[in-house]
Structure 1
Amino acid sequence: MAFRRLFSQRRNLLKLLQQPLPLHVFSLIPQNPDGFALNKVKAFKFARFFSQTILSDPSPLPLSEHVNDLCRVLSDFRSPHHDIESALNPFSSHIAPNLVEQVLKRCRNLGLSAHRFFIWAHKLPNFIPSRESYHILVDILGKCKQFPLIWDFLSEMKNGGFDIRPEIFWVIFRAYSRANLPMDVIKAFEKMGDFGIEPSVDDLDKLLSFLCKNNLVTHAQEFFDKVKVDFPIGAKTYSILMKGWGDCGNSLEAMKLFDEMLERDCTIDVVAYNTLLTSLCQGGKSDEAYKLFREMKSRGLEPNACTYATFIRASCEANDVHSAVRILDRVRRYGLVLNVFTYNCVIKLFCKNEKVDDAYLLLDEMTERGVGPDIWCYNAILAAHCNLREVNQALRLLRRMKKGSCLPDRHTYNMLLKMLIDVGRIDRAMEVWDGMGEMGFYPSVTTYAVMIHGLCKKRGRIEDVCRYFEMMIDEGIPPYSCTCDLLRDRLLRLGLREKIHILSDKMQQSTSCSIQELSELMSSPSSSAKNARIQAKKGNKYNSRSNGEEINLDS
């Protein structure tokens, strides 16, 4: 993480280097017998930025470093009144389609600044955005519900002779569905023709799928009934709708669709049959599902791993360990391999019923069968260890994750750090923190909040609290307003007003405009904190979403 701080402060150093050096500075630079030249300086102290900075011959930075620097700019200038264009101008010579794509992917949750970045890049001479960057930006704007801007982009693409393909409309379908705007999804489908695209059954399937995934099944069914005569409907389309009704717990509607398939002489495949079985199980009709299961072979269908997985998941939902194990044994006997999601369900079932040893055996079985355990498998077991406050077992599991090439995520670290602090193993918590960089993980605002909020409850740890808070500021991560409140009030109770001023000044000097605006909240007295929060609200409104996260210190 020291390297991240180094890179995040490089812009300040470059700005300083671009300014004329005062004469007294040259007296600090060791003279070379061959004469002084700036590109031969190997070490030079800038006390305000680094203890020591190594300068060498200038060379092009790798793409990843430009991505890091640009993402930092987008994070620092995330508010509408921030002058992001001036901060981006020094990077104009490095802008390329691939670089823009990477920055947009990394900044999906910084909608406003990501959009402004794309507009800025689009205005650069000789820059032509890639198709993927348009798709990413449409997705970003959809998450921000900036739908008029999406249609402006499509019009620009059309007028510019850009070949618009159906995939970008799939992104629009998803955005409207997430925003709970089903009629706009349908209008977008109908407007495809305006952009030279004749809607196909694949486009219809995507529309229905996104509506169903967002609990808009009624609208999906109504639209399907309206247009089904215009498309060659097959088992896939019916399966999407059956799954939608099943997820809503309405197995009766799913059964009606299955019967309609039979009436229209649609070919019934295993996927459609499995979807119906899942819908029945989700609707609490497991007995009826078992009855249909026994009829599969008579219809010329052979049950597969997904068929059995349906009943395993139903047993897990019912907290029926015996039935889940019985079906699992049957799967093994037939030589079938379950997917990782089904294994996760069984592992969670074992952990819920304090059968952690059985969960570990299943973890070993997954590896033997070539099904790589994912982060959800490990987190389910880790949650059991944390609930039981089993420090050694939790740390051992973390080491196993590293060996198994499954990198921990923020949930892993948040659970583990919270447990270690709660049981008083601060030394272990700090060891875990220091090792996060080696695991390729860099803490976000929630992980910092876990450490700061947890340590604030411990006596004699205020120096550590301030240290982690300063690290967060150095990283350019705006803290939660409640974190500022908590730390300020804690320092006031301890009579450390001077430390509050120091932290507030540090925040004011940050390159992040959002952190600068939060400095007022930190420096305000507790009695007027509410008024200060109102003043800081405009700059802090994105904080709880800056990484797509809610503040939940229990995970």
Structure 2
Amino acid sequence: MAGANPPQPANPQPQHPFPTYHTALDLPLQARLLCEIIDTVPIHDIEARLASTQIKPEPEMVQQVLKLSYNSPSAAVKFFRWAGLARKHSEHSWNLMVDLLGKNRLFEPMWDAVRSMKQEGVLSLTTFVSVFGSYCAAGRFGEAVMSFDVMERYGIQPDIIAVNCLLSAICREDNQTEKALEFFEKIKAKIPPDADSFAILLEGWEKEGNVAKAKTTFGEMVIRVGWSPLYISAYDAFLNTLLCGSQADEAIKFLQVMKGKNCLPGLKFFSNALDILVKQNDSARASLLWGIMVGSGLVPNLIMYNAMIGLLCNNNDTDNAFRLLDAMVFHGAFPDSLTYNMIFECLIKNKKVRQVGKFFNEMIKNEWNPTPENFTAAIKMLFDGDDPGMAIEIWDYMVQNSISPRDDAANVLILGFCSLGRLTEVRRFAEKMIDGKIIISESTMTKVKNACYKEGRSAREMYDNLLRKWKSSCL
């Protein structure tokens, strides 16, 4: 490495950006100066400029500079060589150099550095993990596997940790879990897999949504390593794959088995699973999942309660929504505005006239107001459901508590009185609304006119007076 010419990037550069010294706000002054030389000085003048600084590059400084020089690999090699003249590089600095070259797809110089590390006695598994990752990021999976195969030649024993690092590097890339499986099948007779090996593959199948492969891998996992509460990440990945693959019944069956083995996943899985079932609008299976979770002693949080209550309300299951609402406080999850408004909206939508009034009073007692949209919808539904008294009570609450906007609710209230032929209240409420700068729409005024003109002369005069007041408010 020390005598090699600086590498020239023959291959296209990777697409992802590397960090630079420009954004490293806490970088020491001397390290910043070295980074600036690497970044701006012509390649042939770099070593002279570095020497002219008379900076003594300590290992920590070398590492700081290398981490911020991935965009300038040729200059970084010059810097590395210059810094090595003052003192031997640390293992960490060598590993950074290998990573820098690999991430820039300069694989021949990368291997020169690996060979130099062997000579220096600082080569380790960490080095090969970097090599695996660089080859996989470049889409050169065969060479990543070949790197694993030559580890012993470099004095590094290929063990299950190395296997898992390579599996992870392959699966990190999109749609490559099949290649990871090929390597797994080849190596498992020589180096028996552990739970982490299966977890990595299962997470790969989860990312790709491959239910069939996930089932096969999970089956082999159970045979080879058995059951354990320590394998939660593998279980999570497998169950998520089933759920996302529209196999919720299978997922729930496996959950029941896992519960019997005392190997249930944690709250994070149940939260993710609930999100999936909510998106699928699957309240029946979500309820089964919920029962397993709560029955196992796991305590749902407010977000999970709201997700479940929202799903039940979306399926018009107000009875179970109320049951969850009552249970929340016992688990320390106190209902909020969203909780109450989802249930209130569901009651309105299902025309539960008596329950709407009762629930409205419970909401305001607990200091949670309906949304303006729910105020409007409730007033309309109560008029349609022959309970104008409750509609007026809700409107009065809006006025007394200065809830805004209330234009829509005001118009609905006026139209409700029109539909009942209660024109005296139309006039009384409309005049107060106009005085209160509430906007009564033109279409509402047209319907008031139609209702008044059907009732005779006095009603017409009432409307004409109201119209004049309305027009003057619009000026």
Q: TM tier, shorter chain? A: 0.5 to 0.7
Alpha carbons of structure 1 residues 309 and 294: separation in structure 2 relative to 1, 3 Å:
same
Q: Does 1:367 align with 2:225?
A: yes
Equivalent position to 1:463, from 316, 319, 326:
319
Name the counterpart of 1:271.
126
Name the counterpart of 1:502.
362
Report if aligned partners of 2:309, 2:324 keep a CA contact under 8 Å in 1: yes
Alpha carbons of structure 1 residues 533 and 467: separation in structure 2 relative to 1, 3 Å:
farther
Name the counterpart of 1:312.
167
Higher relative contact order (CA 8 A, sep 6+): 1
Alpha carbons of structure 1 residues 406 and 487: separation in structure 2 relative to 1, 3 Å:
same
Report if aligned partners of 2:306, 2:338 keep a CA contact under 8 Å in 1: no
- 1:309 CA displacement: 3.4
Name the counterpart of 1:345.
200
Equivalent position to 1:183, from 24, 47, 50:
24
Alpha carbons of structure 1 residues 315 and 526: separation in structure 2 relative to 1, 3 Å:
same
Report if aligned partners of 1:470, 1:503 keep a CA contact under 8 Å in 2: no
Code of the residue aligned with 2:198 in structure 1: it is: Y
Report % sequence identity: 15
Q: Which runs of 5+ in 2 are unaligned?
A: 1-20, 32-57, 378-401, 406-475
Secondary structure (helix, strand or coil) at the match of 1:442 reads coil
Alpha carbons of structure 1 residues 365 and 271: separation in structure 2 relative to 1, 3 Å:
farther
Query: Whole-Å Cα distance in 1 between the matches of residues 59 and 404 of structure 2?
Result: 51
Report if aligned partners of 2:195, 2:221 keep a CA contact under 8 Å in 1: no
Code of the residue aligned with 1:367 in structure 2: it is: V
Query: Whole-Å Cα distance in 1 between the matches of residues 404 and 156 of structure 2?
Result: 63
- 1:525 CA displacement: 5.1
- 1:456 CA displacement: 1.2
Q: Does 1:489 align with 2:330?
A: no
Code of the residue aligned with 2:105 in structure 1: it is: L
Name the counterpart of 1:412.
269
- 1:204 CA displacement: 9.2
Name the counterpart of 1:433.
290
Q: Deviations over 1:324-380 (max 9, x none)?
A: 34322332221343461x322322445633324313323214524x98762221122
Query: Whole-Å Cα distance in 2 between the matches of residues 231 and 484 of structure 1?
Result: 68
The TM-score, its normalising length taken from structure 2, stands at 0.52
Report if aligned partners of 1:315, 1:321 keep a CA contact under 8 Å in 2: yes
Secondary structure (helix, strand or coil) at the match of 1:274 reads helix
Code of the residue aligned with 1:360 in structure 2: it is: F
- 1:457 CA displacement: 1.2
Query: Whole-Å Cα distance in 2 between the matches of residues 476 and 181 of structure 1?
Result: 47
The TM-score, its normalising length taken from structure 1, stands at 0.46
Name the counterpart of 2:303.
446
- 1:245 CA displacement: 8.2
Which structure: larger Rg? 2
Name the counterpart of 1:252.
105
Report if aligned partners of 2:274, 2:307 keep a CA contact under 8 Å in 1: yes
Q: Deviations over 1:35-82 (max 9, x none)?
A: xxxxxxxxxxxxxxxxxxxxxxxxxxxxxxxxxxxxxxxxxxxxxxxx
Q: Deviations over 1:102-158 (max 9, x none)?
A: xxxxxxxxxxxxxxxxxxxxxxxxxxxxxxxxxxxxxxxxxxxxxxxxxxxxxxxxx
- 1:505 CA displacement: 1.9
Aligned runs of 1:207-286 on 2, under 5 Å?
233-239=89-95, 250-252=103-105, 259-260=112-113, 266-267=120-121, 268-286=123-141
Code of the residue aligned with 1:304 in structure 2: it is: D
Name the counterpart of 2:435.
none
Alpha carbons of structure 1 residues 482 and 350: separation in structure 2 relative to 1, 3 Å:
same
Name the counterpart of 2:236.
379
Secondary structure (helix, strand or coil) at the match of 1:333 reads coil
Report if aligned partners of 1:386, 1:416 keep a CA contact under 8 Å in 2: yes
Report if aligned partners of 2:168, 2:200 keep a CA contact under 8 Å in 1: yes
Query: Whole-Å Cα distance in 2 between the matches of residues 453 and 375 of structure 1?
Result: 28
Alpha carbons of structure 1 residues 349 and 277: separation in structure 2 relative to 1, 3 Å:
closer
Q: Which runs of 5+ in 1 are unaligned?
A: 1-179, 191-199, 509-518, 535-555
Report if aligned partners of 1:280, 1:289 keep a CA contact under 8 Å in 2: yes
Report if aligned partners of 2:211, 2:245 keep a CA contact under 8 Å in 1: no
Alpha carbons of structure 1 residues 432 and 405: separation in structure 2 relative to 1, 3 Å:
same
Alpha carbons of structure 1 residues 379 and 255: separation in structure 2 relative to 1, 3 Å:
farther
Alpha carbons of structure 1 residues 297 and 474: separation in structure 2 relative to 1, 3 Å:
closer
Code of the residue aligned with 2:219 in structure 1: it is: L
Code of the residue aligned with 1:312 in structure 2: it is: L
Query: Whole-Å Cα distance in 1 between the matches of residues 264 and 293 of structure 2?
Result: 10
Query: Whole-Å Cα distance in 2 between the matches of residues 251 and 321 of structure 1?
Result: 24
Code of the residue aligned with 2:242 in structure 1: it is: H
Code of the residue aligned with 1:308 in structure 2: it is: V
Report if aligned partners of 2:135, 2:141 keep a CA contact under 8 Å in 1: yes
Q: Deviations over 1:239-297 (max 9, x none)?
A: 36756887xxx343787666456557543223212321222112222244345445434
- 1:439 CA displacement: 2.8
Secondary structure (helix, strand or coil) at the match of 1:281 reads helix
Code of the residue aligned with 1:252 in structure 2: it is: R
Equivalent position to 1:400, from 257, 260, 263:
257
Query: Whole-Å Cα distance in 2 between the matches of residues 466 and 313 of structure 1?
Result: 45
Give the superposed CA RMSD: 5.0
Query: Whole-Å Cα distance in 2 between the matches of residues 208 and 442 of structure 1?
Result: 48
Query: Whole-Å Cα distance in 2 between the matches of residues 241 and 343 of structure 1?
Result: 32
